[in-house]
A and B are shown apart, each in its own frame.
Chain A
Amino acid sequence: MSRLKMTVNGVAIDIDVPESRYLSEVLREDLRLTGTKIGCAEAECGICTVLVDGIAVVSCVFPAFKAQGARVETIEGLSNNGRLHALQQAFLDHGAVQCGICTPGLIMTAKGLLDTKNAAGEAVTENDIRTALKDSYCRCTGYQSVINAVLQASGEEVAPYIPETGTPGTAVGKPRPNPNACPMPGYFQSTPRLRSASTACTQC
């Protein structure tokens, strides 16, 4: 057991933990900040991303004592007195959250990007966002809504993305009439006309 001192979401922490802890374990088990989720636990999926001194790292393979004296930011530190952070609000606006397990990682990775770009006085492009989120896996949203949300949080006006769906009222099992379908009664309406096949109806 050793003293681990760091600032987590602006709060000075000084705890006695085994030196073998990973940062994700200290956050979740010792500090009970369970907003940081664990996915693959091998630095692959990006779900456990937190910021250490402003830099996005995967906390599942980041030894806790590597963060000795550092400033750690997790998803819990984003909202202020019940007011959501711009990224959180944008994720809601764009429907960029579904099951939600990857969301803390996506938001913290995005925050790392936006903070770095802001500090350097540079604009954030969609390409920057795609590059930064390259190894953050989300199996629900399809990413476009996530990218739009981050773009919005960076100050750009983005209309929420609505995926294309079928024509309303199209019931399963009742296909829309196919304009090329065989006109003979009894033939399934969507069957294409088979002009050459001898098995097709005589009129085709």
Chain B
Amino acid sequence: MVSYWKHYHTPETVEEAIAALRGYDGRARVIGGGTDLLVETRRGLRRPFEAIVDASRIAGLNTIERDPQHIVIGCGVTHTQIVNDPNIQRHGACLSESCGVIGGPQVRNAGTLAGNVAHALPAGDGSIGLLALAGEVEITSTAGRRWVAAKDTFVGPGKSVIDRHREVLTRLRFKPTGTGEGSAFHRVMRPQGLCLPIISMAARLTVDGDRIVAANVSMGPVGPVPWFAEPVAQALIGGPATDAQYEKAVDVALSNVTLRTSKYRATEEYRRTMVRTYLPIILATAAERAGAKR
């Protein structure tokens, strides 16, 4: 049996987790379910490392809670927990939908949203769902805790701003959608092989009558990191919730993204067509959920 790591730590407090990371000085990896990282390591895409720090059993961080303004998700919360949470289904539909397509049921039972965001893959579905909700992540180090917008945590493919020498992603949060707000997610994929997305997109819209007054759009893989599509959102804000407006948003999206042809997944042209086909549907669904007048 090949060893991909030597030591396994299951800290019960954040302090213990950080102490373990500091002890290994960058040679340890934090995992939630490990369903991404350990598969990549096993396939030889990543070099073996010294130790694993398992963040899924930290006390108090495996529940979904509400504070006055946010829905807060602990770093030990699995995709299955998110998908089954009635609160998130109603007030963060795109996150529920995005976590519901990750891997298979057994992977969702172990994998965590925190892991998906910290892993920072350009096509991370959970990341794209959270981005559209303008989610934030809490990064804890010995210096304390800080909330960072999820869109600012992605540095490059598989690279996050979180410092593996001394920091742990402890919680994630977003403002739940309320009256006049709605969100939606869709991903295009081939249902065989590693089920990687061809294109994933999510949107959150706030409408007033038939006007879009606020918008967030996210997409991936359209570049090195999951894209928080501000130009697309800007193209929507102030306009009516109509197909013509969505078409304008599609044009803006397509002129801003880098779509690639990948050997087993899809051609650039196909991805382009999928954006054109599905982005309006996602926007219309979000607007409908927001109660937009047509």
Residues of A within 8 A of B (CB): 2, 18-21, 25, 29, 41-44, 46, 49, 55-58, 61-63, 65-66, 68, 109, 131-136
Inter-chain contact B106/A63, CB cutoff 8 Å: no
Q: Among B4, B10, B39, B106, point to the contact of A66 (Cβ < 8 A).
A: B10
- A41 — nearest CB in chain B belongs to which residue? B42
- B31 — nearest CB in chain A belongs to which residue? A63
| Docked CA distance A21–B54 (Å) | 14
Inter-chain contact B52/A63, CB cutoff 8 Å: yes
B41, chain A: closest CB distance, angstroms: 9
List chain A residues, Cβ under 8 A from B5.
19-20
| Docked CA distance A131–B194 (Å) | 17
Question: Counting chain A CB atoms within 10 Å of each CB, which of B7, B8, B34 scores highest?
Answer: B8
Q: Binary interface profile of B, 31-53, with partner A (CB < 8 Å = 1, else 0)?
A: 10011001100110000000010
Q: Among A56, A65, A134, point to the contact of B10 (Cβ < 8 A).
A: A65
Inter-chain contact A20/B3, CB cutoff 8 Å: yes
B112, chain A: closest CB distance, angstroms: 12
- A2 — nearest CB in chain B belongs to which residue? B8
A52, chain B: closest CB distance, angstroms: 8
A58, chain B: closest CB distance, angstroms: 5
B34, chain A: closest CB distance, angstroms: 6
Q: Among A21, A56, A61, point to the contact of B42 (Cβ < 8 A).
A: A61
- A57 — nearest CB in chain B belongs to which residue? B110
List chain B residues, Cβ under 8 A from A46.
104, 106
**Is B105 in the interface zone, CB < 8 Å from A?**
yes
Given A55-B109, A56-B105, A131-B105, is A63 in contact with B39 using a C-beta cutoff of 8 Å?
A: no
Inter-chain contact A62/B8, CB cutoff 8 Å: no
List chain A residues, Cβ under 8 A from B194.
42, 44
List chain A residues, Cβ under 8 A from B62.
none
A39, chain B: closest CB distance, angstroms: 12
Inter-chain contact B39/A42, CB cutoff 8 Å: yes
Inter-chain contact B34/A20, CB cutoff 8 Å: no
Inter-chain contact B109/A57, CB cutoff 8 Å: yes
| Docked CA distance A134–B143 (Å) | 44
Q: Among A19, A25, A29, point to the contact of B7 (Cβ < 8 A).
A: A19
Instruction: Mark out the residues of chain B between 29 and 87 whose CB falls within 8 Å of any chain A CB in the assembled complex.
Output: 31, 34-35, 38-39, 42-43, 52, 54, 56, 80
Inter-chain contact B106/A49, CB cutoff 8 Å: yes
**Is B294 in the interface zone, CB < 8 Å from A?**
no
- Can you add 15 more A-B contacts, CB < 8 Å, to A46-B104, A136-B104? A20-B1, A20-B3, A29-B1, A43-B35, A44-B104, A46-B106, A58-B106, A58-B110, A63-B38, A65-B8, A66-B10, A66-B34, A66-B54, A132-B105, A134-B105
| Docked CA distance A58–B33 (Å) | 11
Inter-chain contact A62/B110, CB cutoff 8 Å: yes
| Docked CA distance A49–B110 (Å) | 12
**Is B263 in the interface zone, CB < 8 Å from A?**
no
List chain A residues, Cβ under 8 A from B110.
55, 57-58, 62, 66
- A48 — nearest CB in chain B belongs to which residue? B106
Q: Binary interface profile of B, 1-29, with partner A (CB < 8 Å = 1, else 0)?
A: 10111111010000000000000000000
| Docked CA distance A133–B56 (Å) | 25
- B5 — nearest CB in chain A belongs to which residue? A20
- A21 — nearest CB in chain B belongs to which residue? B1
B82, chain A: closest CB distance, angstroms: 14
Inter-chain contact A56/B39, CB cutoff 8 Å: no
List chain B residues, Cβ under 8 A from A41.
42
10 closest A-B pairs by beta carbon, nearest first, are: A135-B104, A20-B3, A19-B8, A65-B8, A58-B106, A42-B39, A61-B38, A57-B110, A55-B109, A56-B106
| Docked CA distance A46–B104 (Å) | 8
| Docked CA distance A21–B31 (Å) | 15
List chain A residues, Cβ under 8 A from B195.
44, 135
List chain A residues, Cβ under 8 A from B6.
18-20
B72, chain A: closest CB distance, angstroms: 23
Inter-chain contact B52/A25, CB cutoff 8 Å: no
| Docked CA distance A136–B105 (Å) | 9
